[in-house]
Structures are given as C-alpha cells and as structure tokens.
Amino acid sequence: MRINVTVNGIAYEKDVAENRTLLRFLREDLGLTGTKEGCGAGECGACTVFFNGKTVNSCMVLAVEANEGTIETIEGESSGGMLSRLQEAFDRHHAVQCGFCTAGMIMSARELIHHTPHPTVDQIKEGLEGNFCRCTGYEQIIEAVLDVTGGYTAKEELIHV
Amino acid sequence: MYENNDPRTLAYVGKSVLRKDTSEKLTGTATYVSDMVLPGMLYAQVKKSPHARARIVKVDISKAKALAGVRAVLTGDDLDYRIGLYIVDKNILAKGEVRHYGEAVAAVAATSLEIARKAVDLIDVEYEVMQPVLNHMDALKTDAVLVHPDLGSYEFIEAAFTPVPKTNIANWTKLRKGDVEAGFAEAAYVVEREYDNPSVQHVPMETHVAIVRWGARDKVTIWSSAQSPFTVRNLFCHTFALPLGNVRVIVPAVGGGFGGKAGIHLEPLVACLSKKAGGLPVKLQASREEEFSLLPCRSALTYRIKTGVAEDGRIIAQKMEMFWDAGAYADYAVNVTRASGYSASGPYEIPNAWVDAYTVYTNKPYGTAYRGFGHVEFHWGVERHMELVARTIGMDPLEFRRRNALHPGSITLTGEKITSHTGDVVACMEAVARSIGYGKLTAAEKNRELATGRKIGKGIALLQKAPAMPSNTATAAVIKMNGDGSVTVNIGLTEIGQGSTTALAQIVAERLGFDIGKVHVMVDKDTESDPYDWQTVASKGLIMSGNACILACEDLLRRGYAVASHVLKACVEDLAHDGENVYVRHDTENCIPWRSIAIGYAYPDGKGIGGPLIGVGSYIAQGLSNLDKETGQGKPALDWTFGAHGIICEVDPVTGEYAVRKVASAFDVGKVVNPALLRGQIVGGMIQGLGTATCEGYIYDDAGHLLNPSFTDNKIPTARDLPMEIETIVVENSQIDGPYGARGVAEHPMISVAPALGNAIQSAVDADLAHMPIRFEDVWRAMHDKHPIDNWITKTPAGSCRSDPAARIHTPDAAISP
C-alpha cells in the first residue's frame, strides 16, 4: 500500500507491505535507525516515537496506520547540530550508558514534559515506566528530567566517608 | 601504577567529566550491529528445539531449500565443529540429540527476514523425546541421565578445571584450608542450611546480534555485539583452525552486556551460514524470546553452608558446598564455579574452611557469565546465613559481622594476606548501617508503622569480589598524537555502557597534563587495529586498561621529549611540558609546541626529525598464580573490592507484600575516578540486584519448557520500582597498583542486594527466607510456616526445578564413586 507520512518534518511517499510495522518502516525503509527494537512486543519502550503528537511503541503500530500521519523520532530531537535542552540534560546527568534505551526514553520524557511541564519525581517515574533501562537504574534519568523542568536541586554524586 | 592521587593536584581524576560517547547515543546516530545493513546481506533464522531432551531422528530441509530467496540451510550433520570456552562440549548446531529447550537444530540464511522465517517453519524435525534431567540435585544421583555421556573425551583446560567423566559434573573445584572437622569439634554452635536461586536472564536492551562475512581464502570478518572481540577471534579461530590473521572482529556500539556477551555466541553459526551462502554477509539477531533460551542465562545455585562458631561469636570452621546448575553446556559456568569457590565465604575470615563447588549439567538453557560472576548468587546464601548464625547464637548481626569480617592481617580462603591497601569492608558496613539507622526505628518510623499497620525492617549485607581471570591476563593501550597536538587512544576494551571510554580519557588527560578535550578514546573496536585486550569483563577494565594507558602516556612523553631535546638543544632531564608545549624548565620561553613535533618536526631548513609520536603501554596482571587443584591455595585476585548494602523495607504483616523504602550502598573503590559514572554503576547495579532479589527468574514446567521467556512474564525493574531513597557512599583506601589508586566496581553493586533485602524483611516480620527471588507470596509463606529449614522447598510449585529434599541424600560423592 502506498502511504504518505511526514517524519521529522520531511514528507515521504512510500509503498509498504500491509504487515510492516512502523518500527521497521522507520529503520529499514527510511534508515532512521535511532529508534531501537528491544522486544518487538510493546513491553520495553525502546521503539517509542511520536505518532500524531502522542507516543506509541512503534513495534505495535503498522506503517499503513501512519498514512497521512506525522511521526517524530530521536533524529528530529536535535536541530542544526545542537542538542535539545532535554538531550543536554541527559548528557549533564550521565543519564546514558549503553544508549540503547535512550531514544525511547527521550521520546517518553518529552511527552511527559509536554503534558506536565513541572513534574514531580513520582510523575516522572510514572511517565517513564514503560521504558526499560537495564544500565542506569533510572535515577540519573529522573534527575535529567527534573533538571530540564526546573525541579532539580543540585546534590553531591557520592557521599565520601 | 604508582601515581600521585592527591585530590588537590588532580585536574580530571575525581571529577564528573561528561561522557565521551553521548553525542552519538543521544541523537540516535551511534551505530550498533542491530542497525547495520551490508551490501548483499542475508538474514538468518534458527530452528529451535521445543524439547528439553530428545533424539533427533530426522531433519527434512527439502521444503526450506526449495523456497525462493533461501541461500543456505544448515543442520547439525553439516557441521563438524565443537566450541567451548573451557570445556569444548557444544556443537554449533545440535547433532544427534538436543540438550535443552530452545537449542539450535537448524539454521537458514535468506534474502529477507520474512523468507528466513518462513523457511525455518518449513523445516521438519522428527524427535524422539527422552526424559530430561532438570533438577541439578537430581542430576547428581547415581542413576541420573547423563547430559554428556562423552564428557571424558572432551578437550578442556586442565590447569583450572576438573570434569568428572561418567557423571553430570562438568567441574569440581575444591578448597581446603586448616582442619575443618577439628574446627567443628571445637565450636560451641554449628549452624547448617541450604540456600538457592533460579536461573536469571541478563536482559541487555540490545539482544545478541552478529554479522559475518566468510570471504575467499577463508578471510572472515565479524561484526558483533560482543564484549570481547579478541576472545571472539581466539575461540573462533580455535574452532575453525584458522590463523588469527584471517579473522577480523569489529565491535561498534554495544547495547549492554552484563556478562551475557562475553565469550563467543552466535558468531560461529552465522559464519557457517555465510560460507554456505558463498561468502555473502549474513546477519542474525536474537529475538527477545531467543535471548532467554537460545542464548545463555545465569546459572541457578543451591548453596549449603555449615558454620561452626565459638562462644564469643568467632567463626572457627565453615564447610561450603555449591551446586551450580550449568544447564546443557559448561560455557562460563565452570569458571563461575571456580571463582565462587575461592571466594565462597564472602568477606569473612574463616580459619578452617572446606569448599566443594560443583558445576552440574542439566537439560536446560545453559549458564554463562553475569554481572558478579557467581557472587550475586552465593552471597545470597552467605549473607542470609550470617544473619541466621548471628540470630541463632543471640548476637546482633552487625556485631557478628564486625567480629568476623576480613581486616588487615586476615588470611583469605586461598591464603592471601589482607593489608590496609586491600580495602575496608567494615568501613563500608558501618557507613550503610549509619545511613539506614540500623538496629532501631526512628520516632517517625514508629509513627509510620502505627499509621500504616505495616512493619518496618532494616537489614545489611556485605560483599566482596575480585576479577575472575587467568593469572596472566593482559591488555595494552596505544596513544597516537595527532597533528594538532591532541591524542587518540586505542584500547581493546569495549564500551558496553560502563563508561570506560570516559574514565580512561580522564586518566590519559591527567597523566599527560593535557586538556581532556584533546583526548579521544575510540569507541568502536577492531581486532585488526586495536591492541589486544583479553575481555571486557570481571570489573578489570579500569584497573588494567587504566594502567596500560598510564604506561602508554609515559612512553609517549618519553618519545616526545627525545625529539624536543634535539630541537630545544637541551637534556631530556631539563625538559618539562604542559598541554601545549614542551619547554626547558629553567628557560620556559625555550619551548616547542606539541603540535610541531606530533607527526615529526621540520627544522627551518626543511630537515625532518622524529616522526609520528606514538606511545605504547602493555600491562599484565602481577603476581597471580593458578590455584592448587586439591587445596585451592594460591593467589587468584588482582584486587578485591569490598562493599555493603543497607536496606529499609516496609512489610504488610498480613499479606507479605513489601516495599523497599531506602537502599544505602557503600564500596571501597580505592579512588573515585568519575563520581557521576561511579554513581551510574552503583545505582544501575543495585537496581539490577533488586530485580534479581524481587522478581526475576526462569520458570520451567515438568518437561523442561521455559514458561516465561518474555517481558510479559519475566519482569525487570522499571522507574517505578526505584526505592524512595537511594544513597551511594564511597570509601577510598588506595589500591597501590591501581591507576591513581582506583579499583574495579562495575559488578559489585549488584551483589548482596538480595540478602540485604531478605535480612530487612526478616527483621520486620520474622520471615525466614532461603530462596530468592523474594516474591510477596514467599514472604507470606515464610511468615506462616515456621519449619526452619525446608519450608521454602516443600512448598515449591511443581516443576520449577528447585532442590527437593529427597535429592539431598544423594551426595556428589555417591555420584562420583558409583
């Protein structure tokens, strides 16, 4: 089926198989490999993208469903070679380790901030609970989101005894 | 290395320098093998066994071969190569018999993933299903089915391992120190108990993936999401009898490892498919389900501990028996057994010790390395047992640990003397005890108990670990100066998220005295261009590659000074440098910029001198030895890292439901190189440890089918599972031979989280727990069933492959001498 879809502001017209997922369409047909597959079953959140302004697990959406739709991915997060404020905060707070969950995590954080500009820690935890991270233990990710939303109070990384 | 580590004079070591790999990872441009597509690339899929143990009667691949787009189909009969890290016991594809659920029986390469999947479905395998041996304690019985009847004929590394032919024992590690029976005779109390835990999946977010191109004249290129490119190359070449120079292993960004990507995994199979397909590159990426059963897991463990204690609370003797469930293949489990064997007591001094640690074959997915390398599993037993012993003799558990913990002058199980530079486990314990207000409840906590009806408990647990590695483990660093005076560092250590790239850049910047912006550490690894590194495992990266980097810096400076000495017409001894120039100490204006000598200096008349500046540093573990196979005595540890966790939890005394309110974690890291990176390791490891402690684990049915190979049924912690409060504490007793005094701490945060939680729950509601994970129902059961030893065993749901009491009368000795 032929679909028209706008991804990160660029309009595409593509033929896709009816059973192709949005995730594979983005990664394999458009070469946007920043969005990752962690489970292929809608459980881990690594494939989170914006679809018409709301986050979805792109492994659970068919590409044909995105016809006439708008998609935003991690590749659209920075602009002109400059990181977004959210990306800068992730960097500053060491909220990245292996980096495989990072794209999905940033998408979910962005949606959270869109709905809740000044989230509490509990609201952040709830907003990110669909995104697995096996490396960081989430704490530095939560701090990054707090920082970018004005709720962060600086503290020592470690207590020395 | 003997480096100055005075924090007042350090520019980068000890600072939260930002990660060097984030520009790519934050923008989605970092390339993982998952993302790679090569020209002409084929896609592979695997036909897997639905049975735990079965004879392969017939494999019909005719329909698969006939499918358009299929370029290669392989079965076990096509391949005559065995692989194995320490015991060469695994066929690339099952031959004659399948030994575990999910084992690869056949494989296909096709022009698309869809065709490959369809082709695999078209392969017909006829099995004769046989009775599997699922419980590792049953596997020790004299009449047990043998998972590997030919064990006696397998090649293995004799210096370190002892397989027992005609049994299911893949390795038997022994340790004998003092006279354990005399110690028990002298003891006022003897406390014995058994602890266990199931197999667990690592869950790297990027599943295992490899692309291999087997080119003409057997030139092979491998792109792999692997922790250890040089070990992949070594084992690959060993298997296929190829010279090392024929095989190139490239590792770009890796989406997490945790031990599961150490060693060699999908690469040989994918290589055979590429060869069969005429040399086209072939890609195989495990599905999440395959990650659970085609690829290996963490071994289950049953740990029996018998402790003899004097009236004053000193441990006099301890007998420790470990039964490791290897699953169908030995892989790393034999070395987990060995490393756990020599560390089996945890951080305590045991004057009379006896360890028997067995690796036991069963018909289940096989075990491999996992963060902590056995120490997460056996510290569950050790630290629950220390709690039990303290309670049994009526002593405060903290005081009991204080009396028995290793201290300077203590002798470890293997005969090593602890010094003030080894690290201080008691300091870690006291720090976490203070942090959680151990031993009492605050007024606020008492009020909360009254208000909620829930009971608050506090528990601590200690831990130790040394790198488990060959005594001659080695690495190297190459530092190349660029024409602008910056440097590029090549090391074989991979960046799997742990942050070594950044920490090593800090060490190089510190030692060179250069701005950190001028230090570039390569993230992508290539065995053809990077210097050798054994493996990215064992928490040895910072200490060993850090030392290699320091040596390479010194070499680079020496070479730079030699050139500058000519140009400046001064003795080398009179030279000094900063980040920009080499200069004469007493005449600082007589200087030459690094960039002018970086790739060779040209005199004003055009004559050249020097050439590209390159520093090389090689580092090999110092003073380690093999362990005596009968007594376990020797020196296995490059460095010991000690630590402790303290946990406050809140338990519903009616339902057994609980919540973790606070975790305090402390480690003697020697020297903090990067506080933010270190906190990421501590918190990340601690949360992974909470996953193991609370919910993760393999569940099988009676036939050996894995029932929960997915995130739906095997949960890992999410952001909502974080404790309300987390405190990360460091102690810094310098490691004399560590870079700037640092020692490794990547695995340690995961160790002993589970027993700290178990101890906290026990202190809250007196639930006596011996099995992990600790599910709510386990707490409820333990609260209601006071039979001391086996309450958790007898109540085991059928088929979950835990130890059953009947198995315990069959000791391994019975199996060894029929």
CATH number at residue B183: 3.30.365.10
Three-state secondary structure of B431-467? HHHHHHCCCCCCHHHHHHHHHHCCEEEEEEEEEEECC
Q: Do A69 and A92 fall into the same domain?
A: no
Report d(CA B258, CA B250) in Å as an integer: 19
Distances from the Cα of A81 to the Cαs of A31, A76, B81, B568, in angstroms? 19, 11, 49, 42
Q: Do B26 and B37 fall into the same domain?
A: no
Report d(CA B280, CA B72) in Å as an integer: 10
Write the single-letter amino acid at B521. Answer: V
pLDDT reading at A28 higher than 80: yes
Q: What is the pLDDT of residue A109?
A: 98
pLDDT reading at B796 higher than 60: no
How confident is the model over B343-361, as a mean pLDDT? 98
How confident is the model over B100-120, as a mean pLDDT? 98
Q: Do A6 and A72 fall into the same domain?
A: yes
Which residues, including other chains, have CB under 8 Å from residue B569's CB and lie 6 or more apart?
none
User: Could you tell me which of B152, B263, B170, B145 has the C-alpha nearest to residue B210?
Assistant: B263
Distances from the Cα of B34 to the Cαs of A17, A20, B132, B204, B525, in angstroms? 22, 18, 35, 13, 16
Distances from the Cα of B354 to the Cαs of B170, B180, B302, B319, B809, in angstroms? 20, 6, 16, 5, 19
Test mutation, B18, B32, B205, chain A, max A CBs within 10 A:
B205
- Burial annotation B275-294 (CB, 10 A radius, 16+ → b, else e): bbbeebbbbbbbbbbbbbbb
Instruction: Identify the helix (H) or strand (E) that includes residue B172.
Output: strand B169-177
Q: Which residues of chain B lie closer than 8 angstroms to A94, CB-CB?
A: 16, 18-19, 499, 676-677, 679-680
Q: Do B454 and B493 fall into the same domain?
A: no
Question: Which B residues in the span 237-276 are in contact with A, Cβ-Cβ below 8 Å?
Answer: 253-258
Q: Do A61 and A116 fall into the same domain?
A: no
Is residue A155 assigned to a domain? no
pLDDT reading at B797 higher than 80: no
Which residues form the domain of A144?
85-148
Which residues on adjacent β-strands are paired with residue B620?
B474
How confident is the model over B61-85, as a mean pLDDT? 97
Which pair of structure tokens corresponds to residue B327?
């699953």
Q: Do B320 and B418 fall into the same domain?
A: yes
pLDDT reading at B512 higher than 50: yes
Residue with tokens 């520009």: B23
Using one digit for the tens of pLDDT, what is the confidence trace for B560-582? 999 999 999 999 999 999 999 99
Q: What is the pLDDT of residue B1?
A: 58
Using one digit for the tens of pLDDT, what is the confidence trace for B628-669? 999 999 999 999 999 999 999 999 999 999 999 999 999 999
Q: Do B685 and B655 fall into the same domain?
A: yes
CATH number at residue A96: 1.10.150.120
Q: What is the pLDDT of residue B2?
A: 55
Is residue A52 assigned to a domain? yes
Is residue B394 assigned to a domain? yes
User: Could you tell me which of A147, A108, A112, A150 has the C-alpha nearest to residue A131?
Assistant: A108
Residue with tokens 């500053």: A92
Which residues, including other chains, have CB under 8 Å from residue B133's CB and lie 6 or more apart?
B53, B139, B144, B145, B147, B168, B361, B362, B363
Chain length of chain A: 161
For residue B538, what pLDDT band results from cuts at 50, 70 and 90? very high
Domain end (from A76, A95, A118) = A76
Q: How far is A146 from chain B (nearest CA, A)?
A: 14
User: Could you tell me which of B46, B457, B253 has the C-alpha nearest to residue A101?
Assistant: B253
CATH number at residue A9: 3.10.20.30
- Determine, for residues A158 and B497 on separate chains, whether the beta-carbon distance falls below 8 Å: no
User: Could you tell me which of A94, A34, A135, A92 has the C-alpha nearest to residue B496?
Assistant: A135
Report d(CA B19, CA B436) in Å as an integer: 31
Spell out where B568-724 has E strands.
575-577, 581-584, 587-593, 599-602, 608-612, 614-620, 641-651, 658-668
Q: Do B332 and B408 fall into the same domain?
A: yes
User: Going by DSSP bridges, is the β-strand pair B300-309/B104-110 parallel, antiparallel, or unpaired?
Assistant: unpaired
Nearest residue, CB atoms, B204 vs list A134, A139, A160 = A134
Using one digit for the tens of pLDDT, what is the confidence trace for A63-121? 999 999 999 999 999 999 999 999 999 999 999 999 999 999 999 999 999 999 999 99
Nearest residue, CB atoms, A135 vs list B497, B672, B678 = B497
Three-class SS of residue B210?
strand
How confident is the model over B534-557, as a mean pLDDT? 97
Is residue B165 assigned to a domain? no
Contact between B197 and B696 (Cβ < 8 Å): no
- The tally of domains found in chain B comes to 3
Is residue A46 assigned to a domain? yes
Domain end (from A20, A43, A76) = A76
Which pair of structure tokens corresponds to residue B210?
């490899």
Is residue A33 assigned to a domain? yes
- The tally of domains found in chain A comes to 2
- Determine, for residues B688 and A137 on separate chains, whether the beta-carbon distance falls below 8 Å: yes
Is residue B148 assigned to a domain? no
Domain end (from B568, B598, B620) = B620
Q: Do B631 and B615 fall into the same domain?
A: no
For residue B818, what pLDDT band results from cuts at 50, 70 and 90? very low
Which residues form the domain of B248?
33-132+208-285
Domain end (from A29, A56, A76) = A76
For residue B814, what pLDDT band results from cuts at 50, 70 and 90? very low
Is residue A68 assigned to a domain? yes
Q: Do A60 and A24 fall into the same domain?
A: yes
Q: Do A62 and A92 fall into the same domain?
A: no
Dihedral of the alpha carbons of B766, B770, B772, B775, in degrees to the nearest 10? -40
Using one digit for the tens of pLDDT, what is the confidence trace for A30-40? 999 999 999 99
Q: Do A72 and A6 fall into the same domain?
A: yes
Q: Do A116 and A69 fall into the same domain?
A: no
Assess B4–A contact: CB distance below 8 Å, yes or no.
no
Report the Cα–Cα distance between both ends of chain B, in Å, rounded: 52
Residue with tokens 């727990």: B769
Residue with tokens 């570039």: B520
Residue with tokens 């690094």: B594
Domain end (from B235, B262, B285) = B285
How many CB contacts within 8 angstroms connect chain A with chain B? 205
Spell out where B188-252 has E strands.
189-197, 209-214, 220-224, 247-251
Backbone Cα Rg of chain A: 16
Assess B727–A contact: CB distance below 8 Å, yes or no.
yes
Is residue A154 assigned to a domain? no
Nearest CA in chain A to B205: A38
Assess B499–A contact: CB distance below 8 Å, yes or no.
yes
Percent helix, strand and coil across chain A, each rounded to 5? 35, 20, 45
User: Could you tell me which of B289, B323, B328 has the C-alpha nearest to residue B52?
Assistant: B328
How confident is the model over B138-151, as a mean pLDDT? 95
Q: Do B571 and B543 fall into the same domain?
A: yes
Which pair of structure tokens corresponds to residue B382?
């050790």
Contact between B96 and B80 (Cβ < 8 Å): no
Using one digit for the tens of pLDDT, what is the confidence trace for B584-598? 999 999 999 999 999
Backbone Cα Rg of chain B: 28
How confident is the model over B329-346, as a mean pLDDT? 97
Is residue A158 assigned to a domain? no
Which pair of structure tokens corresponds to residue B579?
């980040």
How confident is the model over B522-550, as a mean pLDDT? 97
Question: Which B residues in the span 765-804 are in contact with A, Cβ-Cβ below 8 Å?
Answer: none
Write the single-letter amino acid at B800. Answer: S
pLDDT reading at B808 higher than 70: no
Report d(CA B294, CA B87) in Å as an integer: 19
- Determine, for residues A157 and B728 on separate chains, whether the beta-carbon distance falls below 8 Å: yes
Contact between B194 and B137 (Cβ < 8 Å): no
Q: What is the pLDDT of residue B792?
A: 30
Assess B753–A contact: CB distance below 8 Å, yes or no.
no
Using one digit for the tens of pLDDT, what is the confidence trace for B235-244? 999 999 999 9
Q: What is the pLDDT of residue B597?
A: 98
pLDDT reading at B793 higher than 70: no
Q: Do A99 and A67 fall into the same domain?
A: no
User: Going by DSSP bridges, is the β-strand pair B97-98/B189-197 parallel, antiparallel, or unpaired?
Assistant: unpaired
pLDDT reading at B806 higher than 50: no
Contact between B565 and B572 (Cβ < 8 Å): yes
Q: How far is A4 from chain B (nearest CA, A)?
A: 23
Give CA B286 to chain center in angstroms.
20
Q: Do A101 and A62 fall into the same domain?
A: no
Residue B141 burial (CB count, 10 A): 20
Q: Do B659 and B631 fall into the same domain?
A: yes
Contact between B329 and B364 (Cβ < 8 Å): no
Report d(CA B422, CA B434) in Å as an integer: 23
Q: Do B500 and B460 fall into the same domain?
A: no
- Determine, for residues B719 and A141 on separate chains, whether the beta-carbon distance falls below 8 Å: yes
- Determine, for residues B730 and A40 on separate chains, whether the beta-carbon distance falls below 8 Å: no
Report d(CA B48, CA B436) in Å as an integer: 49
Domain end (from B558, B591, B620) = B620
Which pair of structure tokens corresponds to residue B430?
């006291």
pLDDT reading at B701 higher than 70: yes
Report d(CA B695, CA B777) in Å as an integer: 11
Q: Do B348 and B487 fall into the same domain?
A: no
Residue B486 burial (CB count, 10 A): 18
State yes or no: ipTM above 0.90. Answer: yes
Using one digit for the tens of pLDDT, what is the confidence trace for B260-282? 999 999 999 999 999 999 999 99
Q: DSSP letter at A41?
A: S
Question: Which B residues in the span 642-671 are in contact with A, Cβ-Cβ below 8 Å?
Answer: 666
- Determine, for residues B30 and A138 on separate chains, whether the beta-carbon distance falls below 8 Å: no
Q: Which residues of chain A lie closer than 8 angstroms to B21, CB-CB?
A: 96, 99
Three-state secondary structure of B260-303? CCCCCCCHHHHHHHHHHCCCCCEEEECCHHHHHHCCCEECEEEE
For residue B813, what pLDDT band results from cuts at 50, 70 and 90? very low
pLDDT reading at B785 higher than 80: no
Average pLDDT of chain B is 94
Phi, psi of B364 (to 5 degrees): -140, 165
Q: What is the pLDDT of residue B414?
A: 98
Q: How far is A60 from chain B (nearest CA, A)?
A: 15
Q: Do A107 and A71 fall into the same domain?
A: no
Contact between B359 and B326 (Cβ < 8 Å): yes
How confident is the model over B615-636, as a mean pLDDT? 96
pLDDT reading at A54 higher than 60: yes
Which residues, including other chains, have CB under 8 Å from residue A153's CB and lie 6 or more apart?
none
Q: Do A64 and A121 fall into the same domain?
A: no
Nearest residue, CB atoms, A103 vs list B28, B202, B718 = B28
Q: What is the pLDDT of residue B493?
A: 98
Q: What is the pLDDT of residue B4?
A: 62
User: Could you tell me which of B575, B582, B587 has the C-alpha nearest to residue B598?
Assistant: B582
Q: Do B656 and B764 fall into the same domain?
A: yes
Write the single-letter amino acid at B433. Answer: A
Which pair of structure tokens corresponds to residue B218?
């057997």
- Determine, for residues A161 and B731 on separate chains, whether the beta-carbon distance falls below 8 Å: yes
For residue B6, what pLDDT band results from cuts at 50, 70 and 90? confident
Q: Do A58 and A10 fall into the same domain?
A: yes
Is residue A71 assigned to a domain? yes
Handedness of CA A63, A65, A69, A75 (dihedral sign): negative
Three-state secondary structure of B330-383? CCCHHHHHHHHHHCCCCCECCCEEEEEEEEEECCCCCECCCCCCCHHHHHHHHH
Q: Do B437 and B484 fall into the same domain?
A: no
